[in-house]
Amino acid sequence: MNLRSRRRFLTQGGSGLGALAFSCLLEADTNPAPHHTPKAKSVIFLFMEGGPSHIDLFDPKPKLNEMHGQPMPKSFGKLITAMGTGNNSLLGSPRQWKQHGQSGAWVSDWYPEIARHVDDMAIVRSCVADGLNHVGSVCQMNTGDILAGRPSMGAWVSYGLGSANRDLPTFTVLIDDKDPLGNTKNWSSGFIPAVHQGTLFRQGETPILNTRLAPGDSPERQRGKLDFLAGLNRAWNADKAEDSELDARLRSYELAYRMQAAGPEAVDLSRETAETKALYGMDDPVTEVFGRNCLLARRLVERGVRFVELYCGSGSGWDAHSDMEGNHGKWCRVSDKPIAGLLTDLKRRGMLDQTLIVWGGEFGRTPFNEKGTGRDHNPWGFTMWFAGGGVRGGQVIGSTDEIGLRAVERPSHVHDVHASILWLMGLDHKRLTYMHNGRAERPTIVAGETMIPELWGAKPRA
């Protein structure tokens, strides 16, 4: 056998072995096992991009109202904020507050529908983040780091648990009328295999792009084209086993092929009753877009999608540096009824217990004014809430100081939030690792030691 023949034999043999391995990879059920019994099967993350004001929604501050218009006391320390030094006068909240449910949790009049569900919610008033600007902070709330390049939380869930429905993406992202700041890096797979990145769903009749057959095409012809393309890609990839992007491309083609049947059915909201659509606010132009996404999120988790992220106010809509009343008044109307509808619908279908709902933004807002009628960015103390999926509802965890500036009781960093989400999904953030550049990387980098065990009724660590 001459040199050329030996090379041909090795190339063809290698391609054949690669084809066999790839075929097995596609067909085998190789989902990894969770680290412990999960409390939730899916996550729906309601991301209020721009920074919703905790002190106008879930964290009332009577003292702040008393001090309205006064300079911020020096006892709170000097601040460097996104837009200045934090020396502006204090800005009280004109909201009307009431206690709701058996738990008596306080919610402002901006969220009257969500307030009906406080007994299902654990409200964490002491969240802490690191970034001052939107791009870095949105990135951190998604990936754990203010710098781009790490896997997003949905990607870690996909990597740690695998798929629950081979015909739909494991991790999906739903946006409204704009792209989020930072765009695709917020649902990136970072350094873990590219197959775990999020799949973007858009507005309109075809939220999933490229899943409809071209005119004149047929499933058989499409199958043939994909098989031919896969053969070419396998031959090319025979000596590039370390390149995860081509493997992800091959898998995405196969997923897209299967989604041509499953995808249109999953996003076909015409199958829903008029009562259900009205529950989500789809009969009102103000709530129609976000309501559609919330309903779509329910349909996706119902079909086994593990992680669904919904953006409300994509492009920093909640960023109220001025006209606090107009800005938050708008986005609260947009989100209140759809979110309440989602909670109601999941509960009546018996799905809330297995679906973890997370609400929050990249940070909160300051107790002092910005441009007279707005508030600056506040990563030092803000609110997120959780419901369903093993969460013990009807409780408030942690607190901020008397003006809502800093977390003072039970501070919970973004890493603790992420570790807690993973724990409820059956994953231990310290054991969920991926070897990268000689280091066993984990979702919380080297933090998230405490989690927030009160969420599921456990005692906090000392």
Query: What is the band of 267 on the pLDDT scale with cuts at 50, 70, 90?
Result: confident
- Give the Cβ contact number of residue 155 at 10 Å: 27
26: pLDDT strictly greater than 60: no
Could you tell me the two tokens for 28?
Answer: 């085998």
pLDDT of residue 83: 87
Evaluate if residue 12 carries a pLDDT over 60. Answer: no
What is the pLDDT, as a whole number, of residue 177?
85
State mean pLDDT over 249-271: 70
Q: What pLDDT does 233 receive?
A: 72
Q: How far apart, in whole angstroms, are the C-alpha atoms of residue 427 and residue 423?
A: 5
pLDDT at 125: 98
Q: Lowest-pLDDT range, 6-15, 49-58, 257-266?
A: 6-15
Note whether 122 and 397 are within 8 A (CB).
yes
Instruction: Show the domains of the chain with their CATH numbers.
Output: 32-208+267-456 (3.40.720.10)
pLDDT at position 23 over 90? no
Share of the chain above pLDDT 90, in %: 70
Backbone angles phi, psi at 366, to 5 degrees: -75, 155
- CA distances (Å), origin 201, targets 198, 263, 304, 353, 359: 10, 11, 16, 25, 19
How far is the C-alpha of 160 from the C-alpha of 32, rounded, in Å? 6
With cut-offs at 50, 70 and 90, classify the pLDDT of residue 440: very high
| Alpha-carbon gap, residue 303 to 262, rounded angstroms | 10
pLDDT at 55: 98
Cβ–Cβ < 8 Å for 398, 118:
no
Asked if residues 361 and 54 have their Cβ atoms less than 8 Å apart, the reply is no
Q: Exposure of 259 by Cβ count < 10 A (0-12 exposed, 13-18 middle, 19+ buried)?
A: buried
Interval 293-312 mean pLDDT = 97
Q: What pLDDT shows up at residue 113? A: 98
Q: What mean pLDDT do residues 113-121 have? A: 98
At residue 231 the predicted structure's pLDDT band, cuts being 50, 70 and 90, is: confident
Rounded distance between C-alpha atoms, residue 332 and residue 125, angstroms: 19
Look at residue 15 and tell me whether its pLDDT is greater than 60.
no
Inform me whether the pLDDT recorded for 142 exceeds 90: yes
Q: Is the pLDDT of residue 10 over 80?
A: no
Query: Residue 180 pLDDT more than 70?
Result: yes
Return the HEC string of the chain.
CCHHHHHHHHHHHHHHHHHHHHHHHHHCCCCCCCCCCCCCCEEEEEEECCCCCHHHCCCCCHHHHHCCCCECCHHHCCCCCCCCCCCCEECCCCCCEEEECCCCEEEECCCCCHHHHHHHEEEEEEEECCCCCHHHHHHHHHHCCCCCCCCCHHHHHHHHHCCCCCCCCCEEEECCCCCCCCHHHHHCCCCCCHHHCCEEECCCCCCCCCCCCCCCCCHHHHHHHHHHHHHHHHHHHCCCCCCHHHHHHHHHHHHHHHHHHHHHHHCCHHHCCHHHHHHCCCCCCCCHHHHHHHHHHHHHHHCCCCEEEEEECCCCCCCCCCCHHHHHHHHHHHHHHHHHHHHHHHHHCCCHHHEEEEEECCCEEEEEEECCCEEEEECCCEEEEEECCCCCCCEEECEECCCCCCEEECCEEHHHHHHHHHHHCCCCCCCCCEEECCEEECCCCCCCCCCCHHHHCCCCCC
The first and second tokens of residue 338, run together, are 């759809």
Q: How far is CA 391 from CA 87, 128, 160, 356, 373, in A?
A: 39, 20, 21, 8, 36
Q: Which of 54-68, 83-97, 229-243, 400-414 has the lowest mean pLDDT?
A: 229-243
Model pLDDT for residues 62-76, shown as the tens digit of each residue: 999 999 999 988 888
Question: Distance (Å, rounded) from C-alpha 56 to C-alpha 93?
Answer: 6
Choose the weakest-confidence range: 137-151, 237-251, 355-369, 394-408.
Answer: 237-251
368 against 76, higher pLDDT: 368
- What CA–CA distance (Å, rounded) separates 390 from 459? 15
Q: What is the pTM of this model?
A: 0.87
CA distance linking residue 399 with residue 214, whole number of Å: 56
Q: Is 80 exposed, middle or buried (0-12, 13-18, 19+ CB in 10 A)?
A: exposed
pLDDT of residue 4: 41
β partners of residue 377: 365
Q: What is residue 207's predicted lDDT score, i.e. its pLDDT?
A: 67
How far is the C-alpha of 268 from the C-alpha of 358, rounded, in Å? 25
Q: Residue range 16-34: average pLDDT?
A: 51
Type of residue found at 224: G
Answer whether residue 3 shows pLDDT above 50.
Answer: no
The pLDDT tens digits of the residues spanning 151-167 come to 999 999 999 999 998 88
Return mean pLDDT, the chain: 88
For the ranges 33-37, 163-167, 283-287, 378-382, the lowest mean pLDDT is seen at 163-167
For 129, residues 6+ apart whose C-beta sits below 8 A from its C-beta are 137, 140, 141, 362, 363, 379, 382, 413, 414
